[in-house]
Structure 1
Amino acid sequence: MAQKFSFPRFRPDGTGASGRAANWAVIGIFMIMAFAAIAAGRDFLMPVTLAVLLFFVFTPLRRLARRRGVPDALTATIVTLGLVIAVALIGLGASGPVSQAAQNLPTIKTRLEQKFSELRESFEEIQQAAQEIEQVQAPDDEGQPAPIKVEEVSDSTLTSLMKFTPAIAGQVVFTLFLLFFMLASGDLLYLKIVQSFDSMAEKRGAYLALRQIEDSLGNYLGAITIINAGLGLAVGLAMFAWGMPGAILFGISAFILNFIPYLGAIVGVITSGLVALVVMPGVFWPMMVAGTYMFLTSLEGQVITPYFVSRRLQMNTVVVFLAVALWAWLWSVIGMIIAVPVLVVLRVLAEYVPGWEKFGNFLAGEEPPAIEDEDEEEARDIVEAGAGAEDESAARHVTAEVVEDAGKP
């Protein structure tokens, strides 16, 4: 007999299980409204969130500089100017290849048409077979296979980028100014947060949580930035070795795109393959170029990053993918970049906020942190026992034995 479960039933007096159902209803409504507010206010919330994350990253540097006698305002100025210079150098390095690509749009259009024409001729036999099958299924239909259409490459994309450039620049400026004021204020933000708690133990816990957020974000973003820089260098050199145009742009793109888990690598592989399809003959060599990009990103994702990033900071891959998709829906590209840092912050908070232990356990990777009760051990016993079962009936039998053994004194 299968074990049954049901939703809480509403009682006429409004007590008991109906209260739990009402609570879940309120939570559901709150989440819907919260997501709507986050999506609607992204022009303001995106730079604020990014500035707060950068504040946690650079606060240890500010604290170190203060111990060396450097004022907080001077450290904030150096950090802000450093970020401006870094962004300017990236933009300067990418401006040349981007400008050249914009000037070569007619040539790219012509080559794409030629390449798709060659591909259409290569697959002529397959099209002929498909046409014969279609004629057999519908003998009265004398329609020809639809030709492959090549959309014109226009300057609409560049026009859109020029349209949104002022808004993006404004958000960048707002982020940098907010970061400057937060760093220049020293420990004022920490002081206000700690003051909002009552007991001394809660104040200490809040301060330790803030410090751990600093360490976790700094370690994660520091390691990821260095790894991505190495990946960008490797991709740039590989594209140069293949004779691809704009090897510098490929390296910069790989560095930036790799901050987006999974999707960034996919975009890079597709882009490199399409560009190679334009500049190289045939299909084999473009596939080799795309395969080289895929090999480098796979090596980084499967070997290098797990080795250098602390296991404590590794996340549940399913949760990471869903978080990237969710933040992409809410905040587009910036949302995909900040998705994992936000998960890192939530995982740290789960270790300090009462009742969030299981949530932190859910966010963790293959080796989640131990929960201070029997739930984790019991769950592991059931899952490990059921993993060896061939079907649902066998799983019911072996898990029943686990439950019986756990109930014995």
Structure 2
Amino acid sequence: MIERQDTPKAIGRSLTGSWRQGRALDAAGPWIIASIVTFGLYAGRSVLLPIILAILLSFLLAPIVAGFRRLRVPRAPAVLLAIVLALGAIGTTSAILISQAATLSRDAPAYAERITAKVADLRTAIHERFGSVLRSSGGSSSKTSQDSRRAGAALAARPEDSRAVPVEIREPMPSAMDEIRSYLLPALAPIETTLIVLIVAIFILFQKEDLRDRLIRIMGTADLHRTTIALDEGAKRLSRYFLSQSIVNFSFGTVIWVGLYSIGIPSPGLWGVLAGLLRFIPYVGVLVAGVGPLALAAAVDPGWLMVGYVTLLFLIVEPLVGYVIEPLLYGHSTGLSPVSVVVAALFWTWIWGPLGLVLSMPLTLMLVVLGRHIPAFEIFDVVLGDRPALSPAQSFYQRVLAGHPEEAIELAEIQLETMTRTAYYDSVILCGLRLAVADLDRGAIARDALHAVGDATLEVLEALEDYPDPPTRNAELAPLEDPKARISTACADLNSSVLCVAGRGPLDPAVARMAAQLLRRAGCDVSEQVRPSGTANVLANIDASVICILGLFDERSFRRMQPVITNLKSAVSNASVLAGMTREQRADPTSHELLTSMESLCQAVSSTG
């Protein structure tokens, strides 16, 4: 009997396989959870929909309850008054819809005949004007239709089978209870849902603080500050958004109602109410709301003038509301990216049908607000929110790392419209270069990639050489707050020149170029040397009061630069030699390292001059 012994190599293979399986499970975990949640949302839609509607109704009524509370109305009467207002709005809307629909249904057959006749006249006019083109392109189709007519005639000429016996199946006459049930059950379903929504909304409004505390306990009490901010901001933002959107859509429906009444469209109240309700559906709601009035305009008017009036009404009112009133009322953005709105609408419609389409915007907005403050929901803010996924420094580093300096130049031109050149160089380019160095230190990129990043950065800096500073920004700054003014103040007594020398690193020329540009724009006499040669012979004939060696130096690279600095000091005895700019970023995010370095440099130049 041979006893099996595990060798170190076999143990290593086993551990490697277990590690790979663990990584595979970790990668598949979020997808498994997402699949389970999606199935739960679909399977539990009959229970979840009334609860979601109740939560959204409570968000809508919360500002009204808060208004009554500010008038010193107790909580219970304030909640009941808000519910009564909601019931009154629902009842009024339902009454308008029913009465207007009943009026329209009596004349619907006549309208349908007129629309059919007008469509036939339109088809005849098209054939009269474009008949020759249609006949030339439809020769083969006419031949096919003739063949099909011949085949149908041959089939009709066949003798019928005498043995076939016609059979007719009739259902038994429904009883009185069946008829009552057929009318009553469909009417009870929405009434039942409405009652459940109202009851749950009442309990939410009564126990608002208690429910908030329970949610905080579920999300974790380790970070009460962040969780409280998330819930408060989410509740206020959603309440403000729902109330504002309800007011806007009510006004939109009222304007459409009045406009259709002025034009002469039958049942204008029905179409006005539907336009206000359908506007809650993003993108397609207004388009669907305009189909009915356009069809009735074609049925009522013998010509097409009324159709043009209705089209003009929607084309004027919708852009005015969407691009002027809504941004003034609740901001230019809801916090959602345009792509996320479309994707969310498709997802919730697939899960919950048409009602999911109406709820897609508020549900997605709720997830984004949670994602901005709670780490567990951060993925929703990244995927669905309208904030940039990357910081400006990360965006710059990604563009130059991918070899797309033209995209980095476009981003720089946009950002330089709102920030000074010094702030942009310091907070974007310099931080982006530090990200590249950090990736090199941890082995994420090769040194060749670092050279490519440096070359792309130099290309960006060359494109920004003559880019003007924002005039309004510098005009608003005080003299001591303007970076250019601060450097100019430091260089006020400057009567000598500066030589900017790049270190030996692949990113050091970019740092030296930024410093040279800032000094040159401040009025200094600046020249550049791409890299130190290792000997001082090349720099011996250069007339410069200050030689500044710039680059992203760590402790080891700075030690390697000491021989070069020593040679420069001995070869150019009448000049000051400075070295600066470290790889580490300062803890204070508001500090301007380039600005501080340039001020120190200018002061050193002034002292030597």
The residue number in structure 1 matching 2:192 is 170
Alignment of 1:214-233 (within 5 A): 214-233=235-254
CA shift, 1:172, in A, is: 1.4
**Counterpart selection for 1:250 from 259, 266, 271:** 271
Other structure's SS at 1:315 match: coil
Asked whether the equivalents of residues 76 and 181 of structure 1 are also in contact (C-alpha less than 8 Å), the reply is: no
List runs of 5+ in structure 2 lacking aligned partners. Answer: 1-14, 150-181, 411-448, 459-505, 508-551, 553-609
Alignment of 1:199-278 (within 5 A): 199=221, 202-278=223-299
Asked whether the equivalents of residues 273 and 289 of structure 1 are also in contact (C-alpha less than 8 Å), the reply is: yes
CA shift, 1:262, in A, is: 0.6
Matched, 1:196 2:209: no
Q: 1:60 to 1:242 in 2, by over 3 A?
A: closer
CA shift, 1:189, in A, is: 0.5
Stretch moving more, 132-141 or 243-252: 132-141
CA shift, 1:199, in A, is: 4.1
Look up the equivalent residue of 1:333 and give its one-letter code.
P
The residue number in structure 1 matching 2:30 is 27
Other structure's SS at 1:323 match: helix
Stretch moving more, 329-338 or 130-139: 130-139
CA distance in 2: counterparts of 1:174 and 1:182, whole angstroms: 12
The residue number in structure 2 matching 1:44 is 47
Asked whether the equivalents of residues 263 and 309 of structure 2 are also in contact (C-alpha less than 8 Å), the reply is: no
Matched, 1:180 2:184: no
Q: Which has the higher contact order (CA 8 A, sep 6+)?
A: 1
Q: 1:275 to 1:143 in 2, by over 3 A?
A: farther
The residue number in structure 1 matching 2:111 is 108
CA shift, 1:237, in A, is: 1.8
CA shift, 1:298, in A, is: 2.4
**Counterpart selection for 1:78 from 68, 78, 81:** 81
Asked whether the equivalents of residues 42 and 352 of structure 2 are also in contact (C-alpha less than 8 Å), the reply is: yes
Stretch moving more, 351-360 or 220-229: 351-360
**Counterpart selection for 2:366 from 345, 348, 352:** 345
Higher relative helix content:
1
CA shift, 1:63, in A, is: 5.1
Stretch moving more, 33-42 or 263-272: 33-42
Stretch moving more, 353-362 or 216-225: 353-362
CA shift, 1:244, in A, is: 0.8
Give the TM-score, by structure 2 length: 0.55
CA distance in 2: counterparts of 1:176 and 1:134, whole angstroms: 60
CA shift, 1:20, in A, is: 3.9
CA distance in 2: counterparts of 1:387 and 1:271, whole angstroms: 49
CA distance in 1: counterparts of 2:257 and 2:315, whole angstroms: 13
Higher relative strand content:
2
Other structure's SS at 1:241 match: helix
Other structure's SS at 2:265 match: coil
Asked whether the equivalents of residues 297 and 306 of structure 2 are also in contact (C-alpha less than 8 Å), the reply is: yes
Matched, 1:121 2:124: yes
Other structure's SS at 1:196 match: helix
CA shift, 1:72, in A, is: 2.7
List runs of 5+ in structure 1 lacking aligned partners. Answer: 1-10, 146-159, 390-396
Q: 1:388 to 1:377 in 2, by over 3 A?
A: closer
Asked whether the equivalents of residues 298 and 304 of structure 2 are also in contact (C-alpha less than 8 Å), the reply is: yes
Asked whether the equivalents of residues 43 and 171 of structure 1 are also in contact (C-alpha less than 8 Å), the reply is: no
Alignment of 1:60-71 (within 5 A): 60-62=63-65, 65-66=68-69, 69-71=72-74
Look up the equivalent residue of 1:13 and give its one-letter code.
G
Asked whether the equivalents of residues 276 and 289 of structure 1 are also in contact (C-alpha less than 8 Å), the reply is: yes
Q: 1:256 to 1:140 in 2, by over 3 A?
A: closer
Other structure's SS at 2:406 match: helix
Q: 1:309 to 1:92 in 2, by over 3 A?
A: same
Give the TM-score, by structure 1 length: 0.79
Alignment of 1:283-322 (within 5 A): 283-311=304-332, 313-322=334-343
CA shift, 1:326, in A, is: 1.9
Matched, 1:331 2:352: yes
CA shift, 1:87, in A, is: 0.3
Alignment of 1:351-390 (within 5 A): 351-354=372-375, 356-357=377-378, 359-365=380-386, 368=387, 374-375=393-394, 378=397, 385-386=406-407
Q: Percent identity?
A: 22
Q: Deviations over 1:28-85 (max 9, x none)?
A: 2332332232223222211101111222343455456556654333222222221111
Q: 1:24 to 1:295 in 2, by over 3 A?
A: farther
CA distance in 1: counterparts of 2:288 and 2:309, whole angstroms: 16
